[in-house]
Amino acid sequence: MTATFDDYLLPGKRGFLIGIGGVSMSPLAEVLHGEGLVISGSDMQFSEKVAHLESLGVPVFIGHDSAHITPDLDFVVRTAAARDENPEIVAARAMGIPVFERTQAWGALMKRYKNALCIAGTHGKTTTTSMCTHILMAAERDPTVMIGGTLPLLHAGHRVGQGDTIVMESCEYYDSFLSFFPTIAVILDIDADHLDYFADLEAIKTSFRRFARLVAPDGTVIANRDDANTMSALADLDRPLLTFGLTPEADVQGVNIVSRGAQSDFDVLYRGEFFTHLHLQVPGIHNVKNALAAAAAAITLGISPNAVKYGLAGFQGANRRFEFKGKYNGADIYDDYSHHPGELKALLDAVEPLGYKRVIMVFQPHTYSRTNALFNDFAEQLRRPDLTVLAEIYAARETNTLGISSRSLAQEIPGSMFFPTFGEIESVLRASVQPGDLVLTVGAGDVYRIGEDLVASGK
C-alpha cells in the first residue's frame, strides 16, 4: 500500500523541504515545525523567509546537494519548481525515502481543520484569498492562511493561526489543487491558461469539476454565476452549490454599484434579502465580484455581516495587485501581477475610468508557451493603453523552443515599443513620463523593478 503524507504527520518525524524559502514552502515548514516534526531544508538563496525559519530553529542549506539527504530522514517534500533531476530528489529516491509534492503535504494538513476554504479560479485567487483573510481576521477566527502573494495585513503571504479554519489559495496548474480536501471550494472563473499542461479549455474545465467534487457531500461549492465556463463545468454537480455574481439568479448578488475613482460601494443581497453594504478601496468590477465570492464564503462559514463589511473596508489590495509604488515626475506608478489577456482586460477596464491623462503600460509576458498560445488575445488588450512598452518574455520554468519574442507582439501593436533590457525601458520612461500619467508595470516576472527604479530615481 502506497504511503500518504498523513502517515508522516507525527511529532518527531524528520522531514526535508526542497525549496524551503518559497512562498508556499516556508509556511509549510513553519506549520510542520509547529506540529512537532523535525524539519530542515534547502533553497537556492538566502531570504527573509529563510532567516525567519532559522530563527525558529529550522536549519536551511543554501544550494542543492545530495549530501543534504541523510538516511535518518523520514520524508522529503519538494517545491513545484524542483525537477526529478534535482540532486536531493535523486538521493532521496536512491535511499528509498518517499518524496511528496508540497500540495500533498498541505492537503494532509488541511484535514486537521474543521473548515478548509480553498480559493480557485484562473484569475483573482490571490485577491479573493486576501479578502477572505481580512474577513476572518475581522471576525476573530484566528485562521491559518496560505496566499500566493504578500498581504500587507499579515506582512507576509501566510499566517499560522490556532483557529479551526484554513484558507488556501488553490492553483489548477499541474492539477495541484486535486491534492486538497476542501470543505468549501470557491471557483472564481475558468479560462484558457496553462496550455503547456492542459490540452485545451475543456481539459481545464474537467480539472475544476474534479476539484469541486473533492468537497464532501455536506460541504459547499461556491461558483461565479456570471461565468459561463464555470457554470458549464459544474452542471449537475452532486454537491451543494452557492453562486455569486451580478445577475439576479446569483444567490449572493451585488446591486446598486457606484464607482468613484478607485473605490466602489454596493449592496450585497443573499437570496434576495439585504445582507450588508460594502465599500471597496480597490478598483474594477472584477474586484466587486471577488468581494462577492469572499462574502459568499463568509456566509457559508457563518460569519456576521459586520465582519464582512469591516473586514473588506480595510482591504487595500495584496502586493503586486494594482499596488501603488510611488510617483515619478508627477505620474502615478502602479504595479500589477496580471499575466493573462483576461487579467489585462480586467486591469484596463478598472483603470481607464480613473481620469488619467495617459495610461502607459510596461508589459513583460510570462512564459513562451502562454505568449504563443494566447498571442492574438494579448495583442488585442495591449493595443488599448495610450502607450505600450514591451519587455522581453520572462522565461520562468521554460526554454524558448518556439522562437517567440516580445518583438513579435510589438509588431502587432501600433505605436508600441520593444526593448530587450530594463535599462533601455527606464531611459525611455524617464524621458517621456509626464504629470497626470498612470504608469503600469505589469507581469508575473520581475518587471516591478522598473517601477521601483523609476520611483527611486525621482526622489
Catalytic (active-site) positions: 125-126, 169
Decide: 298 and 132 in contact? Cβ < 8 Å.
yes
Terminal-to-terminal C-alpha distance of the chain = 63
Encoded amino acid at 366, one letter: H
User: What pairs with residue 43 in β-bridges?
Assistant: 62
Encoded amino acid at 280, one letter: L
Q: Minimal CA–CA distance to 302: which of 133, 139, 110?
A: 139
CA distance 117 to 131: 12
Helix axes 285-300, 125-138, angle to 10 degrees: 50
DSSP 255-270: EEEEEETTEEEEEEEE
**How far, CA to CA in Å, does 437 sit from each of 209, 380, 381?**
43, 22, 19
CA distance 45 to 185: 34
The 3-state secondary structure of 89-143, one letter per residue: HHHHHHCCCCEEEHHHHHHHHHCCCCEEEEEECCCCHHHHHHHHHHHHHHCCCCC
